[in-house]
Structure formats: structure tokens, C-alpha cells
């Protein structure tokens, strides 16, 4: 999985604070799937960007992380040192209508041209011209080679991308499944993420929307023994559930056990 922060989507009329928070959330959501994430450091080093960035209102708990996102290498690294696209190569997109040269979309397109089997996605600001377009067709003008790039502009889209590329869980694994390898993420209409974290293994807690039951992956049971722990809305243990179906097994209920947060 290869993701490119789409600096083109930071449009003059857009809300850059919201966009940068999305780029941070995207990187954090993608982290367990171990993707390669790129950005264009040249764009973020421009005086125009720095001036506007300094005027943005950002949440206090995120400002330092976003500073690292745009100026450091913790979340995204610059693609230019390893670039495949030529500095003077032209690329074009019809929707949105763009002429492109020497920018992240150009490099993403070239990487997809060189390896058609690669999973390459743009990460775009939600309120931009890219916000509701997926995939985006881009062509290299000189050779007329065209590719389809995934384009994610919401955390839900990020999760769908992860599931499509990393969603299989190997039952012989010595590590417990990641959330995106279970029904908790795969069935987004059935489950939603809460702000709760299970204390022992720090696994995220999900809520079943129709029942208010609470679920999390038991980190202590990898491979064939992998399962979900299930609790009532009042944090009382109800049993375990299958990671693929979420079917509750009440025979595993432990009376008196409660969810530790």
C-alpha cells in the first residue's frame, strides 16, 4: 500500500485546518497496515504554506503532531529522493480537470504505471475538488499511458482501502488479528468505533450499533484461537464472538467479569 498526501487538494478556499487533521488521521489509521506514505516536502517548505500554516487554528492536542506531519518524517516521507517521475514529465486528469507536472499526483501516477499491480492511493482534503471522486484517472501525456488512482478523502474510505488490501487474517499467525482483519471494521454499518480502549492490551473498543454491545479483539489469543470479547453496554461480559461473523458464543461468558477501561 502506497499513499500520497495530495497537496493539490489544499485549495486556497479550503479549510486547511480540517485537511491537515484528516491527513494526520489518515496516517494514524493506516499505521497498523504498514503502508508507505509520501508527501512533497518542497510544497510544505514554501513560504506561502508556512505563512498560512502559522495562522491556522489547530487543536492543542494535535498541533505538535501536525507540525511533525508537514515538516518531519514520522508520518510521511518525501518522495523526491527516490522519484520515478521526471521533473519535466506532463500528466493530465479529466476529472478533476488538471494539468500536472513535478508534484505528488505525477509521482503517484508514475509509480502506478511502472507497477500496475501496486495499490496506490491519493489522500485528499475532504472539502476539495477531489473530495467525492474515487478513483481518479490520470494519464502521462507523452506516452498516453493511463492509470486509475485510488483516492481517499475520509477515514471511512481509508478503512475500506485497508480492508481491501490487508483484510485477510492468517489463522496460523502468532499475532492476534488487527481490527481491520475482523468484522469490527469490515462491517461499518454494524459496528462503530468508540473512544474507549480496553486496559490490558490497549485494543480499541467497538460498539454494535443496534444492541450497544461492546466488542474488542482479544490480543492474547492469536491464530486459530483468535476471537472477540463481548460485553454489554454496562460492561458486563456476555461471551466471545467470531472475528469474521461477530456471532456471539454465550458459552464462553464469564459471570462477574467486567470490561476494564
pTM (2 d.p.): 0.86
Q: Is pLDDT of 210 > 90?
A: yes
Confidence of residue 94 (pLDDT cuts 50, 70, 90): very high
Q: Is pLDDT of 76 > 90?
A: yes
What are the pLDDT digits (tens) for 245-261? 999 999 999 999 999 99
Q: What is the mean pLDDT of the chain?
A: 95
What are the pLDDT digits (tens) for 109-154? 999 999 999 999 999 999 999 998 999 999 999 999 999 999 999 9
Angle at which helix 60-71 crosses helix 16-30, to 10 degrees, equals 80
| pLDDT for the residue numbered 132 | 86
Average pLDDT of the segment spanning 89-95: 95
| pLDDT for the residue numbered 219 | 94
| pLDDT for the residue numbered 180 | 94
| pLDDT for the residue numbered 156 | 92
| pLDDT for the residue numbered 207 | 98
In the chain, where the domains are located = 2-157, 168-252
| pLDDT for the residue numbered 84 | 97
So what's the architecture of 168-252 in CATH? Roll (3.10)
Amino acid at each position: 500500500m502506497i499513499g500520497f498526501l495530495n497537496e493539490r487538494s489544499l485549495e486556497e478556499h479550503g479549510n486547511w485546518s480540517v485537511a491537515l487533521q484528516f491527513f494526520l488521521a489518515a496516517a494514524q489509521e493506516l499505521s497498523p497496515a504498514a503502508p508507505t506514505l509520501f508527501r512533497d516536502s518542497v510544497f510544505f517548505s514554501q513560504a506561502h504554506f508556512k505563512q498560512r500554516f502559522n495562522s491556522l487554528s489547530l487543536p492543542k492536542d494535535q498541533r505538535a503532531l501536525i507540525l511533525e506531519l508537514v515538516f518531519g518524517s514520522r508520518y510521511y516521507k518525501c518522495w523526491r529522493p527516490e522519484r520515478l517521475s521526471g521533473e519535466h514529465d506532463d500528466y493530465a486528469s479529466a476529472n478533476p480537470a488538471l494539468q500536472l507536472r513535478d508534484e505528488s499526483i505525477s509521482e503517484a501516477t508514475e509509480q502506478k504505471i511502472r507497477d500496475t499491480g501496486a495499490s496506490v492511493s491519493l489522500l485528499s482534503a475532504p472539502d476539495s475538488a477531489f473530495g467525492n471522486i474515487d478513483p481518479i484517472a490520470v494519464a502521462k501525456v507523452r506516452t498516453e499511458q493511463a492509470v486509475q488512482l485510488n483516492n481517499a478523502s475520509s477515514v471511512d474510505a481509508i478503512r475500506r482501502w485497508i480492508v481491501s488490501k490487508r483484510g485477510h487474517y492468517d489463522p496460523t499467525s502468532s499475532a492476534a488479528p488487527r481490527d481491520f482483519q475482523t468484522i469490527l471494521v469490515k462491517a461499518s454499518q454494524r459496528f462503530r468505533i468508540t473512544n474507549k480502549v480496553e486496559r490490558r492490551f490497549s485494543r480499541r473498543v467497538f460498539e454494535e450499533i443496534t444492541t450497544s454491545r461492546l466488542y474488542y479483539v482479544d490480543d492474547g489469543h492469536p491464530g486459530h484461537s483468535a476471537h472477540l470479547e463481548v460485553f454489554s453496554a454496562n460492561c458486563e461480559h456476555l461471551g466471545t464472538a467470531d472475528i469474521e461473523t461477530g456471532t456471539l458464543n454465550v458459552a464462553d461468558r464469564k459471570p462477574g467479569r467486567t470490561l476494564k477501561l
